Amino acid sequence: MQLTGLLEKMKMDHLSYQLDAVCEQAAKRDLGYREFLTEVLQTEWNGRYQKGVESRLRTTRFPWVKTLEQFDFAFQPSIDRKVIRELATLGFVDRAENIIILGPPGVGKTHLAIALGMKALEAGHKVLFMTLESMITRLTKARMENRVERQLQQLFYPRVLIIDEMGYLPMSRDEAGLFFRLLTRRYEKASTIITSNKSFVDWGEIFNDQVLATAILDRLLHHCTTLNIKGESYRLKEKRKAGILGTTPKTVDIKDETNEDM
Ligand code: ADP
Ligand code: MG
């Protein structure tokens, strides 16, 4: 059988496309048989890996993609880089632990959540991103249509579930109850990353029920890394750099109610 036929039968599409270049390179570098074989298989593997990442990326619902490498840690000194480095090794996914990222608007909560989600995705895990609002809408709709179990099961499936923007809108008790059911299901089985502009003491307000808030925090915090970002908005920094804002605002704390994101 011809080489191209073999590659086709073995579904080695990526190698097929790059065959001439790979052979040319191998000749130039005077590779041995083993090295050449490694190079050839690596080409196919790289292509398959990249395709896998891209197809999984489409199912994550990330609003945009940012990486840890794109995060300017010097700008946000309250973030311990060691903790981020440790999280990036994805031990938290294997141990089904949670991450809670707190801080005022613009400090990079969503950026970090997506960047850690990207790491998990690249390692082959299923990742799903949702704002709290859209998740609650889904669950409520599912309950009205008598299929809440199925919806909860769908949200249980991702190894990493990112729930963004907890705290912008308060929840009714019923909604908080649905959220609690989801967390109970994922507890110690799969990781959840939550971002919030509210500190834990204010979570009672979000859930409209102090007892439920305590139960939710209990599930979330049992195995959890909390990042409390105390710093300035990166968006404001960029605007200032562009000359849109004049003076340097004081550093905002998490309790400050800023509506920049709304
Ligand atoms: P938050 O979710 O805390 O409101 P975002 O993560 O949406 O903030 O960040 C706002 C914008 O600023 C995004 O485009 C993000 O990529 C960028 N950003 C925030 N912090 C940093 C940082 N330290 N380095 C690089 N970009 C950042
Ligand atoms: Mg955000």
* Same domain (yes/no): 226, 130: yes
| Angle separating helix axes 81-88 and 109-122, nearest 10 degrees | 30
| 99 neighbors 116 (Cβ within 8 angstroms) | yes
* Same domain (yes/no): 154, 205: yes
In a domain, 260, yes or no: no
In a domain, 255, yes or no: no
Mean pLDDT of the 202-218 span? 92
In a domain, 49, yes or no: yes
Mutation probe of ligand 1 site: the residue of 234, 238, 258 with most atoms within 8 A of C-beta: 234
Q: What is the pTM of this model?
A: 0.86
- What's residue 245's pLDDT? 65
Separation of 101 CA from ligand 2 center, angstroms? Answer: 10
Stretch among 196-200, 234-238, 241-245 having the lowest mean pLDDT: 241-245
In a domain, 203, yes or no: yes
- Condensed to tens digits (0 to 9), the pLDDT of residues 84-122 reads 999 999 999 999 999 999 999 999 999 999 999 999 999
* Same domain (yes/no): 69, 12: no
* Same domain (yes/no): 54, 84: no
In a domain, 248, yes or no: no
* Same domain (yes/no): 126, 235: yes
In a domain, 146, yes or no: yes
- What's residue 1's pLDDT? 86
Whether the per-residue pLDDT at 39 is higher than 70: the answer is: yes
> Ligand 1: residues within 6 Å at CB?
66, 70-72, 75-76, 103, 105-111, 195, 234-235, 261
- Condensed to tens digits (0 to 9), the pLDDT of residues 166-196 reads 998 889 999 999 999 999 999 999 999 999 9
**CA Rg value for the chain:** 23
How many domains would you assign to the chain?
Answer: 2
* Same domain (yes/no): 38, 54: yes
- Condensed to tens digits (0 to 9), the pLDDT of residues 49-84 reads 999 999 999 999 999 999 999 999 999 999 999 999
Whether the per-residue pLDDT at 219 is higher than 80: the answer is: yes
Whether the per-residue pLDDT at 238 is higher than 90: the answer is: no
* Same domain (yes/no): 199, 213: yes
Whether the per-residue pLDDT at 243 is higher than 80: the answer is: no
* Same domain (yes/no): 122, 65: yes
Of all residues in the chain, the percent with pLDDT exceeding 90 is 86
* Same domain (yes/no): 53, 146: no
C-alpha 73/C-alpha 116 separation (Å) is 15
- What's residue 246's pLDDT? 58
In a domain, 262, yes or no: no
Whether the per-residue pLDDT at 247 is higher than 70: the answer is: no
More confident: 203 or 129: 129
Ligand 1 closest atom vs CA 107: 3
* Same domain (yes/no): 152, 93: yes
- Condensed to tens digits (0 to 9), the pLDDT of residues 6-37 reads 999 999 999 999 999 999 999 999 999 999 99
Range of the domain at 33: 3-58
CATH at residue 102: 3.40.50.300
| 166 neighbors 134 (Cβ within 8 angstroms) | no
* Same domain (yes/no): 200, 214: yes
Mean pLDDT of the 208-235 span? 94
Structure token pair of residue 5: 């036929």
Ion ligand 2 residues within 5 Å by Cβ: 109-110
Closest CA to 116 of 132, 130, 135, 129: 129
Going edge to edge, which strands form the sheet with 224-228? Answer: 127-131, 160-166, 191-196, 98-102, 224-228
- What's residue 237's pLDDT? 81
In a domain, 253, yes or no: no
> Helices (DSSP H) in 30-156: which residue ranges?
33-58, 81-88, 91-94, 109-122, 132-144, 148-156
* Same domain (yes/no): 19, 101: no
